[in-house]
Amino acid sequence: MSLVTTAERDAVAVSAPRARGRRRPRRGGTTRTLLSQAFVWLLVAGTWETLCALHVFSEDLLPSLHSVAKAAPDLLTQARFWDAAAHTLQSAAIAFAWSLAIGIPLGLFLGRNSFAERSTQFVLDFFRAFPPVAVMPLLILIFGVTLKMKVIVVVLAAVWPVLTQATYGAKSLDEAVVDTVRAYRIPAWLNFVKVVLPSATPFIVTGVRLAATTSVLVSVAMEIIASTPGLGRLIGTLQFDRQTPMAYVCIFAAGALGYAINWLVKRFEDKVLAWRPIDTGE
């Protein structure tokens, strides 16, 4: 028992320097960043309003920001908006969960099994480059325009960041760590829990963040293309009815939803990876 405990401690100690440190923000840096971000937002808004004032684009294509802001309260108080947002969030959440359930275990397995990785590399690279929307007509024929069809397409798009990052994370072990594990004859399950998983976690969390935003964006795109319930179909309906400002409200709402999910995953990342040393920059 003491041998396992010593090996466990030494393996984790060796792997610790490989962890990426978090940089402590400098004093005044937060205020400067907020001011610069506000300036960029004002620059974008000013450019938008200028283009509208000069009538560079028609009102049906690019409505003014004040007309979008005026339409926002009206749309946000309608039940159809919240119903559409719920459908988008539902499909994105289901696809996201499936992407994690498939990508993380498979990526860890491939990352620690070089023969399996080499054997599947061509197939995985092929399907990674294959556009998920291309299989949509076939899936519509099989499942119809249903939630299941949309979830499958979203999973085909969102699973790859998780799978790739998990594979890379599992392969990123330092040779010194591998030698320590081998020297102490640490059991495979203990090696996985105490060495492989902590080393791969930072990479996996990055893939999780990418998959979360991808799930939302592809869900909205699928709703526009296949006219499945959600924000995407509502955007198409509003544009068809020439209610362009309200359509832009939905577009901003979809972007805000993706940003909120990314923010939540980032907060989760800070909690999960709290063990990482803070880089003071000294």
Strand, helix or coil for residue 24: coil
CA atoms of 227 and 213, how far apart (whole Å) = 20
Say what the pLDDT of residue 113 is: 86
**Cα distances (Å, whole numbers) of residue 58 to 118, 189, 246, 248, 252:** 53, 63, 16, 14, 19
Strand, helix or coil for residue 22: strand
Say what the pLDDT of residue 275 is: 63
CB 133 within 8 A of CB 149: no
CA atoms of 110 and 74, how far apart (whole Å) = 51
Nearest to 193 by CA among 20, 3, 7, 17: 7
Assigned token pair, 218: 């592809």
CB 246 within 8 A of CB 74: yes
The pLDDT tens digits along the chain (282 residues) read: 343 444 444 444 444 444 444 555 555 568 888 899 899 999 999 999 898 888 888 888 889 888 999 999 999 999 999 999 999 999 999 999 999 999 999 999 998 888 898 899 888 888 888 888 888 888 888 888 889 999 999 999 999 999 999 998 888 877 777 667 677 677 777 777 777 888 888 899 889 999 999 999 999 999 998 888 999 999 999 988 889 999 999 999 998 988 898 888 888 878 777 766 554 444
Which position has the token pair 């495979």? Answer: 188
Query: Buried (b) or exposed (e) across 157-172, using 16+ Cβ within 10 A?
Result: bbbbbbbbbbbbbbbb
Find all residues with CB under 8 Å of 46, minimum gap 6, and list them.
none
Say what the pLDDT of residue 235 is: 93
Signed CA dihedral, 105, 110, 116, 122: sign only? positive
Say what the pLDDT of residue 55 is: 85
SS3 content of the chain, % helix, strand, coil (to 5): 80, 0, 20
Nearest to 93 by CA among 219, 206, 201: 219
Signed CA dihedral, 34, 35, 36, 41: sign only? positive
Could you tell me which residues are beta bridge partners of residue 278? 22
